[in-house]
A and B are shown apart, each in its own frame.
Chain A
């Protein structure tokens, strides 16, 4: 069985690479074929922006990697059986290859979801496909079945604020999948019509405009928003619904909100607002689900901090790891671990569920 796991971050320097390496080690020890790629650029000696040292990416012999050809060729892992994936990135054509020996590699792979799906097709059955994130980028991770989130003091040195963000993300990531993939079927099942909003809701005013354009003679049971949704904009919709109850269902029977994917809710606006949005939906007696969900495994917490000095250079530091982790844990329900402080066993326990 093939598992596709994404490692995404809430910001740069939150420990994505370290988490990726630990996951690689786990699956290698389980005898899985490893297939690595990155939606950005990772594995270099020094960070492109801060100039600070970075953890290198080591691949075991026999592992596959998808990266720009020039980077596979200059790796000391001696990649062989190189094949063009048909995908190009900013550093040239993306190839897949098999590491002839263990060694370091710089990963630069497909940077969008469609290309990522194409590249994943090159992974063998029974492989663990590991997708390395970049910055706080999430959208290509819709290609993943499971997700580990990396966050920490680089995102915010206040552990309560980190926990608050984790809670919002966790809640969004935990939204259930719609029982019937066809939203129309779902609407029929509850005796109403589908209101389909295409193009997303991510600009201020877009929600109110959408409601103004509605055909008020119809009764909607399912509201399906396709694409990106910004929580502030969606609040406009909810606020309008609160005073215009007839717009959806005069009978006030349960109405279902459907979104495409949890990740579509995390790309625009302040993520933390989703807690308020979801609470409001719940108070209104409506339900929420997504067309396709993702298996959210947990959160790795990194105490690493970064500050910019007066001369423009960056300086690395860290908050007290134990205190930071404990405080985050205290304020979130999401599973968390610091894999450097606690070792990888908690992370491994999440991964065991995929075996």
Chain B
């Protein structure tokens, strides 16, 4: 038992004293004497009472504004001049209070909304105040650990395996410029690390030959790609400074609830420095992982740049230098995904993700071919190579189904995802299933989600988890087509989708910022905090209470499973995964899926 202390609690506020009442109870429970003054006394009256009571501590509460801060400063001055200090410690609490603010006002300590009442009691008892500072995980977790990738639904499993084997056999005989560049990049970086500059030059010349467009031009003439510029020295230095200072960061304890979940955010402002700041702020506010977004032209152009670049528009150019710079902002426990899924540089991106030390990547042939403009044949060849590389580098990857956003029904999208994931497992990889958690166009048209947004999303989770024991990571991000330009509405929708996904058994979830869906300009840091805060609040709200779907969910799940089965049967009957992509088995023009053209005609048979 600590020596009992006397604490004067003064609500320097017209009405609000609930915080102080709670602290009074906690203090008295621990054997201290607590005197609660009535609200709305003047600073002089409180000081007068303090001179009579001779407390060890005076705790005042007050919502802060420009005017009230002067009032609090005056109170501190009066206490000082009246001789109360240093015998009596002055403590301030309030909704917008932070330690820096308390210091500026002259208090000995300050507690904000993140501080539990126990923290104030700990302070009275002279204990180190650790509970008001949040923590972030210092070590990484393997999100795929414990999953067997075994099919519980044998009927579907057998079809997936058949289709996956066919796909792998087909790809085994083929190659592409994307695969060659991945090999060259690996050799180049190895030569560079060993100081073999002549080898680097030769490899670089060979690399440049199989690039296209402005990237090729940059390798040949040094002229920057449109809308890009090299990072300045100042920007590079600022990233270094951020890297040095990130270990001194304090994290809001109210966001610690996110430590128990795996919430990812997507960055890709175009500028690595901004990405670094967006990432560290998001991590501070509870993001467990960050996802690198590259420019859309990067998927349609053969070849990737080198060096550090800033890009004028959304999407941050993938180069090893850029990735290494952004990595400096990450904490040791941050999971980092570098996406490689949709374009002509997929295998090389996996190589760069590995070289930069990323933890995860993203590989998908179906969405990339049907919704993102890459030729199916090319992306399947490159995708299989990417999955091989990911397996070699021990990089788990998600298989996304964003083709649903084009209008492709979930059954077709899931069939494609399951076959690709199965192929990945056969290659020794560890894929995640990434269902779309959104108001999907299919459901909008069919009215499936008119009643609520819960049933259809939960049905997807139920189906997938009943088919295969694989990690599910909805996204990416969750809440598509439910968010508006209103940041409050957008945050609520994101948070509810995230909470629903995590409640339904997802191992991770990717969320957007509150301005991402309708950004009228660059995505802002406060908008990132919006959705992280909202997600934490939603998780706090539902807690172990969970979210219950209606009875409709089982029927939806059953229908979806049967539809997946139908698609897989057609796919296996066709006997050609790539042809199925062109022919619409996994999504046709009526659905809104259009086989892409980028890289068409570039696949060749391997030389024997």
Question: Interface on A for B, CB 8 Å cutoff?
Answer: 11-12, 39-42, 44, 48-50, 68, 70, 73-74, 88-91, 108, 111-115, 134-140, 142, 199-200, 202-203, 227-228, 230, 263-264, 267-268, 306, 308, 314
State in angstroms the CA–CA spacing of A355 and B86 once bound together: 33
Given that A41-B103, A227-B82, A227-B83 are contacting pairs, would A203 and B44 also be in contact in the complex, using a CB cutoff of 8 Å?
yes
Contacts of B110 in A (CB 8 A): 90
Q: Is the interface of B mostly helix, strand, loop or mixed?
A: helix
Closest chain B residue to A140 by CB distance?
A: B80
**Given A74-B248, A90-B99, A308 contacting B106 (CB threshold 8 A):** no
Q: How far is the CB of B102 from chain A (nearest CB, A)?
A: 4
CB distance from B217 to the nearest CB of A (A): 40
**CA–CA, A217 to B66, complex, Å?**
51
A91 & B105 in contact (Cβ 8 Å cutoff): no
Considering the complex, which residues of chain B in the window 223-261 have a beta carbon less than 8 Å from any beta carbon of chain A?
245, 248
* CB atoms of A41 and B100 under 8 A apart: yes
Binding site for A on B (CB under 8 A): 44-45, 47-48, 51, 64-66, 69-70, 73-74, 76-78, 80-83, 85-86, 98-110, 245, 248
Inside 8 A of A308's CB, which chain B residues have their CB?
A: 66
Cα distance, A139 to B76, chains bound together (Å): 9
The reply to whether A90 and B103 contact each other, CB–CB distance below 8 Å, is yes
A138, A203, A267 — most chain B CB neighbours (10 Å): A267
A42 to B105, CA, bound (A): 11
User: Considering the chains assembled together, what is the distance between the CA atoms of A268 and B76 in angstroms?
Assistant: 11
Q: How near does chain A come to B81, taking the closest CB pair, in angstroms?
A: 4
Q: Residue among B69, B80, B105, B245 with the most chain A CB within 10 A?
A: B80
Could you say which residues of chain A place their CB within 8 Å of the CB of B102? 90
Taking a contact as CB atoms under 8 Å apart, the answer to whether B70 and A136 are in contact is: yes
Not counting A49-B69, A114-B85, A227-B81, a sample of 12 additional A-B residue pairs whose C-beta atoms are within 8 angstroms of each other reads A12-B66, A40-B105, A41-B104, A48-B98, A48-B101, A48-B104, A112-B106, A113-B85, A135-B104, A228-B82, A267-B81, A268-B78
Do A111 and B64 touch (CB < 8 A)? no
Cβ A44 vs Cβ B105 within 8 A: no
Is there contact, CB below 8 Å, between A90 and B108?
yes
Residues of chain B with a CB closer than 8 A to A268's CB:
44, 74, 78
Q: Tell me the minimal C-beta distance from A224 to chain B in angstroms.
A: 15
Chain B residue numbers with a CB within 8 Å of A40 are 103-106
- Of the candidates B69, B78, B108, B109, the one whose C-beta lies within 8 Å of that of A135 is B69
Q: Which chain B residues border A88 with CB–CB below 8 Å? A: 108
A88 to B108, CA, bound (A): 8
Q: A49-B101, A74-B245, A264-B81 are in contact. Are A111 and B107 (CB under 8 A)?
A: yes
| Closest chain B CB from A262 CB (angstroms) | 12
Cα A68 to Cα B85 with chains together (Å): 19
Q: Is the Cβ of A228 less than 8 Å from the Cβ of B70? A: no
Query: Across the interface, which residues of B come within 8 angstroms of A203, CB to CB?
Result: 44-45, 48
Cβ-closest chain B residue relative to A308: B66
Contacts A12-B66, A49-B66, A306-B66; A111 near B99 (Cβ below 8 A) = no
A-B contact pairs, 24 of them (CB 8 A): A11-B70, A12-B70, A40-B104, A48-B98, A48-B100, A49-B101, A74-B245, A90-B99, A90-B107, A111-B76, A111-B107, A112-B80, A112-B85, A113-B81, A134-B104, A135-B69, A139-B78, A140-B80, A142-B81, A200-B82, A227-B81, A227-B82, A228-B82, A267-B77
